Amino acid sequence: MKPTAFVSAIAGPLLCAALVLAPCPEGLTSAGQSALAVLSLCVVWWLFTPVALPVTSLVGLALLPVLGALPAAEALAMFGNQAVFFVIGVFLVAVVMYRTGLSSRLTLVGLRRFSGSENALCYGVMLLSWAMCCVIVSHAVAAIMLPVVLELIRTLDLSPRSRTARRLLLSMAWGTVAGSNLTLLSSARATLALELYDNYRSASGMDPDPIGFVAYMAGSAPVSLASMLVGLAVLRIALPPEGINIAPALERLDQKVKDLGPLSGQEKLTGITVLAMVATMVVAGPSWLGIVALVFSGALFLFQVLSWEDAEREVNWGVALMYGGAIAIGGALYRTGATAWLASTLLPDQVGPTGALLLVGLMSAAFTEVVSNAAVIAVVLPVALPLGAEAGLDGHTLAWTVPLSAGFAFVLPTSTPAMAMVFGTGYLRIRDTLPGLVVTLLSLGALLMLSRYLWPLLGLAAGSHG
Amino acid sequence: MSVRRILIAVSTSRYSRKLVGLAIREAEQFREAGDTVEIDVLTVIEEEALARAAASVGDSGLLGLEAQEQVLATLGAEHNRMARKRVAQVEVAAAQRGFEVVRYEAQGDFVDLVLARAEALHADVILLSRAERPFISRILFGSVADKVARLARRDGLGRVVIQDT
C-alpha cells in the first residue's frame, strides 16, 4: 500500500469517529451528524483510494445504520434504485458493441471518411471519439480508439516529440472527455446525478419532476459540443500541423476497412437492438430508464450477441456497488437534513445564484482532475443542491451543472481513464496538460452561458441567475 | 589501455536525441585517452506506469478485465516499438564513429534497473535525460534522474551525466 493510501486508511475512520463524537452543532440532528461523518470517511477514501471505489461505497452504506443515520431497511432499500440497473445496461451495451466489432467498424469507416489532410485526420479522431459516446460509455470509446490512434502514429512513423502524434492522442482523449457529457449513455455519472436529484426533491417535499433521456440530452449536448469545438480549436493552435504526408495512414485505414468485410448478422442485430433501446428510452420516459435498459440487456443475451461469460469478464461489476452505495449515502444526507445544514453554514451571505453556480462548477471540475468523476457527483451534488436552493438557484440547473462540470477532465492523467491512457503512451509530458486547462476553463464558461440563456429558452431550467 | 563503459539509460518518456550526441562525445574523449569504449544502451519499459494506466480503466472507468488487458497490451507494444527505435538510433550514430553498442532491455522500475545495470557493467559513465523543469519543481515533485544520480554517487557506481531535454 502506498504511504498516502495507508495514511488515508487510518485518517478516514479517525475523521469519521471525531465527527460522531463531537458535540452536535445547533440546527443539525444527531442523525445528520452521523450522515456527515459517513460522508467524511467516504470523501477521504474516494480521494486517496486505500480500497477500491466500490468498497468505499459499501462501507459507507453499512455505516449509515451502524452510526444511526438511517434505519438499516431504509438505507439498504435506497441501494436498489433504477440508476444502478440503467448503468448496468449502459456498460453491457458498450461490451456488445465492442465484442461484435461494430464499434471498430464505426471507428474505421468514420475516420476514413473524415481524413483528407493532417488537420482533417486530427479533427476526425476527435469528432469520431466524441460522436461514438452517443451510445457507448466514454471510457469504452477511449479503449476502442487507443489502438487505432497508435496504429496511425506507427504507420506515419511519428516520433514521441511529434506535434501530430501528441495532437492525435489528445484529440482522442479530449473527444471522449467532451463526449462523456453527450447523453445519458455516454457516462454513468449523469444517471447518478439525476437519481440523487430525485432523492433530494422527494426528501425536500417537492413534487417529482424527473429528467428524461431527451431532456437531459437537450441540456447536455450543446455543452458537450461546445467543449469539443473548444478542444479542436485549442489543439489546432497549441499543436499546429507539421505538414506530414498522411497518405500511408489513409492506405492503412483503407486496408483495415477492407479487412472488416461486409456487415455481419451480429453487428446488424446489435445495431438494431441498441437503436431500439435508445428509441424506447426516449418514448418511455424517465421513470422507465432502468427497466428499458434491463429489458434490452436481456435481449442482447437472448439474441446470442452477448454471452454471460463475456459479460462477466468485460463489465466491472463493482459499478453496481459503487453507484448503489453512493446513492444511498447521498439519500441519507438529504433525509437527515445534513446537507441543508452544511449548505446554510458554508454559503457566504453575499453569494448569489451565479456565484453559487460558478462555485459548484469550479469545485466539480477541480475535483474531477484527481478523483473518479462518479465520486465527485456523490460528494458535491448532495451539498450543492441545498446550497443552490439557499442561493436562490433552480435545482434543475444543478442537476445538469454538476455532472457536466465533473466531466471536464481535460487536464491531468489522473482525471479519467482516457487521459491516463494517452499519458501512458509516453508521448505526452506534463507541459502538455496546459492546453487542457484552457479547454476546461472555456468549457466552464460555455456551460455558464448556456445554463443562463439556452436552458431557460428550452424550458429545461428556471434560469434564476442573478 | 583499459575498457571504458558508457551506460545510456532510456525509457519511453526519458530520452532525447541530445543524449546520443553526448554519449558519442564522452566515448570520443575516452578513445582520445587511448581507452577502448563500449556503449551500453539500457531500455526500460516502465511497466508500473503502463499498469497504472490500464488499471484506471477498471478502477475509475469501471470497465472489465478484458478492456484493462487490451489497454496494457496496446501500451506495452507501443513502448517496445519506441524502445527498439531508440536503440537503433544509438546504434547508427555509434557505428558511424566506430563504437560498439550492446543493447539490453528490461521491464520494471527505472531507478532500480539503471543502478543494477551500472553495477553489473562497472559503468564509468551513466547518461540520463531529464525533462527541463524549474529547480523548485524537481525539489517538490522529485526527479527520477536526480534520484539515480544520488544513489549512484552513494554506491560509487560511476559518474552520472544528466542531459536536460
- pLDDT less than 50: residues of chain A: 465-466
- Interface residue A160 vs chain B (CB under 8 A): yes
In a domain, A452, yes or no: yes
> What rounded mean pLDDT belongs to chain B?
82
| Cα–Cα distance measured from residue A340 to residue B64, given in angstroms and rounded to the nearest whole number | 37
Provide CB contacts within 8 A for A65, sequence distance 6+.
A71, A72, A75
The closest of B42, B39, B70 to B57, measured between CA atoms, is B70
Cross-chain CB nearest to A316 (options B13, B63, B133): B63
- Interface residue A413 vs chain B (CB under 8 A): yes
| Cα–Cα distance measured from residue A417 to residue B57, given in angstroms and rounded to the nearest whole number | 5
pLDDT > 70: percent of chain B: 88
Nearest CA-CA distance, residue B80 and chain A, Å? 11
Number of domains forming the structure of chain A? 1
In a domain, A205, yes or no: yes
Question: What is the ipTM, given to two decimal places?
Answer: 0.73
Question: What pLDDT score was predicted for residue A63?
Answer: 94
Cross-chain CB nearest to B59 (options A53, A413, A424): A53
Each residue of A370-406: pLDDT tens digit? Answer: 878 888 888 889 888 888 888 888 888 999 999 999 9
Cross-chain CB nearest to A314 (options B12, B59, B66): B66
Between A and B, how many CB-CB pairs are < 8 A? 105
Each residue of B67-121: pLDDT tens digit? Answer: 888 888 888 888 888 878 878 888 888 888 888 888 888 888 888 999 999 999 9
Chain B contact set for A315 (CB, 8 A): 63-64
Chain B contact set for A52 (CB, 8 A): 59
Q: 3-state DSSP call for residue B143?
A: coil
Banded pLDDT at B136 (limits 50, 70, 90): low
Cα angle A2, B145, A160 (rounded to 5 degrees) comes to 95
Question: What pLDDT score was predicted for residue A466?
Answer: 42
Cross-chain CB nearest to A426 (options B13, B52, B56): B13
Domain that holds residue A109: 3-457
Question: What's the predicted TM-score (pTM) here?
Answer: 0.83
**Residue of B16, B19, B46, B62 to mutate, testing the A interface (most A Cβ within 10 Å of its Cβ):** B62
Chain A contact set for B131 (CB, 8 A): 429-430
- Interface residue B10 vs chain A (CB under 8 A): no
Residue with cell 454538476: A402
In a domain, A52, yes or no: yes
The closest of B129, B57, B88 to A413, measured between CA atoms, is B57
In a domain, A463, yes or no: no
In a domain, A465, yes or no: no
In a domain, A89, yes or no: yes
More confident site: A386 or B132: A386
* Average pLDDT rounded to a whole number, residues B142-152: 83
Kindly determine whether residue B71 and residue A143, on different chains, have CB atoms separated by under 8 Å.
Answer: yes
Beta bridge partners of B106: B44
In a domain, A313, yes or no: yes
Kindly determine whether residue A424 and residue B54, on different chains, have CB atoms separated by under 8 Å.
Answer: yes
